[in-house]
Amino acid sequence: MKIAIAILNWNGVSLLERYLPSVVAHSRGASIYVIDNASTDGSVGFLKKNYPQIPVIANESNGGFAKGYNDGLRHIDADVYCLLNSDVQVTKNWLAPIVEAFEEHPDVAIIQPKILDLKNKEYFEYAGAAGGFIDKLGYPFCRGRIFQALEKDEGQYNDITQIFWATGACMFIKRQVFFELGGFDETYFAHQEEVDLCWRARNEGHKVLYVGHSTIYHLGGSTLSNMNPKKTYLNFRNSLFTITKNLPRRKAGPIVLARLLLDAVAAVRFLFQLKPLHCWAVLRAHLSYYRHLPQMLKKREKAKFILKYYVTKSIVWSYFVHQIKNFNILVKD
């Protein structure tokens, strides 16, 4: 199995300096590439000087996560792509369990390892944790992370199991499947495009797997932090895109309406928290959603649909009303 590790970079020379050495040291048998989104901070020069053995694919512009990978991966030949964030520290033998899982489960198209917090290594990391799921309203959450509540890693997710979505922080995907799906939806720019990709893959009958015997550490928030209104804008808008595209009309309509109302509540909450820019970001997200709605409806016309896509009806109700902050308690409830 030919694996290519593709690291997307945009003005991340400091991250490459810190975390690329672990990828080089612990990824024997895989090829490593850096896809650069028109950086201006000397990233390409740093790579050519310090890692001349690593091919650099230079994109002409910064098209975000989605377009950046779509453009770059066309130049990489492999059986499986590993899309890896530049702020990830990998561990010894991290690839072996992934390769074994692909070989033992030929119907699996996408795999995610265990992702722990680089700043607090005993806890799961926000972006992906131990595998992603969504509720009936399309809110994403993870085993090991529900909203801002992060679980301590005590071996409770040292397993191999099917999940709904794998994080873009570290996603292994078969090359053939990636291009059959048309890659990431470039309308998203960044954030939640991996949820959409995995949902489309599942709609086509592919499986997404979590492999807890492979561990990486993720810094997180290196491009956009949770305090950035642009991240709020992208998350709120792109979540509506995903629901519209991947659910049949009779289900998508009521769910989108419910989400719009809950988004309004979130916007008011931002005001009370004295975060007016985040409130404005939610409004902008809705306006952008309406503007792109005809385009999303056309994409839905080409889609297949799975009947059961969620593990709980409302993660918002479970978390904020019932105070459930542990995945295993959630699924037992």
Is residue 1 in a domain?
A: no
Query: Tokens representing 292?
Result: 């792109």
* Interatomic CA distance for residues 274 and 190, integer angstroms: 26
Determine contact, residues 194/171, Cβ cutoff 8 Å: yes
**Helix (H) or strand (E) segment spanning residue 262:** helix 249-272
Residue 318 vs residues 147, 163, 266, 321: alpha-carbon distances, Å: 11, 20, 16, 6
Is residue 80 in a domain?
A: no
Q: Please give the pLDDT value at position 224.
A: 61
For 37, list phi and psi in degrees, rounded to 5. -95, 60
* Interatomic CA distance for residues 282 and 275, integer angstroms: 11
For 329, list phi and psi in degrees, rounded to 5. -70, -40
* Interatomic CA distance for residues 139 and 265, integer angstroms: 15
Q: Please give the pLDDT value at position 301.
A: 87
How many domains would you assign to the chain? 1
Residue 113, beta-bridge partner list: 211
Determine contact, residues 245/300, Cβ cutoff 8 Å: yes
**pTM for this entry:** 0.96
Is residue 96 in a domain?
A: yes
Closest alpha carbon to 90 in 131, 62, 56, 118: 118
Residue 180 vs residues 184, 192, 206, 247: alpha-carbon distances, Å: 11, 19, 12, 20
For 6, list phi and psi in degrees, rounded to 5. -115, 115
Is residue 321 in a domain?
A: yes
Is residue 111 in a domain?
A: yes
Is residue 45 in a domain?
A: no
Determine contact, residues 222/86, Cβ cutoff 8 Å: yes
Determine contact, residues 152/123, Cβ cutoff 8 Å: yes
Determine contact, residues 204/306, Cβ cutoff 8 Å: no
Q: Please give the pLDDT value at position 304.
A: 83
* Interatomic CA distance for residues 207 and 108, integer angstroms: 5
Say whether 156 sits in a helix, a strand or coil. Answer: coil
Whole domain around residue 323: which residue ranges?
A: 88-333
Q: Please give the pLDDT value at position 220.
A: 85
Q: Report which residue type is found at 123.
A: Y
Is residue 123 in a domain?
A: yes
Q: Please give the pLDDT value at position 262.
A: 96
Is residue 30 in a domain?
A: no
Q: Report which residue type is found at 60.
A: E
Q: Please give the pLDDT value at position 303.
A: 83
Could you read off the pLDDT tens digit of each residue along the chain, which spans 333 residues?
Answer: 999 999 999 999 999 999 999 999 999 999 999 999 999 999 999 999 999 999 999 999 999 999 999 999 999 999 999 999 999 999 999 999 999 999 999 999 999 999 999 999 999 999 999 999 999 999 999 999 999 999 999 999 999 999 999 999 999 999 999 999 999 999 999 999 999 999 999 999 999 999 999 999 999 875 666 679 999 999 999 999 999 999 999 999 999 999 999 999 999 999 999 999 999 999 999 999 999 999 999 999 888 888 789 999 999 999 999 999 999 999 986
Say whether 152 sits in a helix, a strand or coil. Answer: strand
